[in-house]
Amino acid sequence: MSLREFLMDRIAEDESAARRFMAANHDYADQPGDHVGGYIWSRHVDTPARVLDVEDYEGGPGNARRVLAECDAKRRLIRHVSAVMDAAGAEAVLRLLALPYADHPGCLDEWDVPGTVTHLRPSRHRS
């Protein structure tokens, strides 16, 4: 599997988790600050955004819509860098995008970013 394929698969997993969460939690509040189903809408954004708890969204803390937007942005970035950069430059960008997935069993050691502070990198079982 290539690094590009690995990233596209992780992005698809993130997107799927966000869509499942949104499908299961479609009861949204009308006003910022309203409580619906144990959640509170944030007053700290121009457009009310649902604030989610870590336990309630398997993709981690944050907003499912933001996760979907990030997935779209990452896919576009991967396509763009692959089209306009030489292989070495594109590889460097893809390695940086792979950092959040460093603890995934499919993430290869060869994709590590030189100079990454070891204690900041998630631990990964290496075989």
Average model confidence (pLDDT) for the chain?
72
Tell me whether residue 71 is exposed, middle or buried, using C-beta atoms within 10 angstroms of its C-beta: 0 to 12, 13 to 18, 19 or more.
buried
Contact status, residue 46 vs residue 36, Cβ threshold 8 Å: no
| Domain total in the chain | 1
* Gap between the Cα atoms of 70 and 10, Å rounded: 12
Is residue 22 assigned to a domain? yes
Whether the model pTM is above 0.75 = no
Is residue 123 assigned to a domain? no
Give the Cα-Cα-Cα angle 42, 76, 14 (nearest 5 degrees).
Answer: 50
Which comes out higher in pLDDT, residue 25 or 76? 76
Task: Look at residue 122 in the predicted model and tell me its pLDDT.
Answer: 57
Is residue 124 assigned to a domain? no
- Note down the domain range covering 97: 3-110
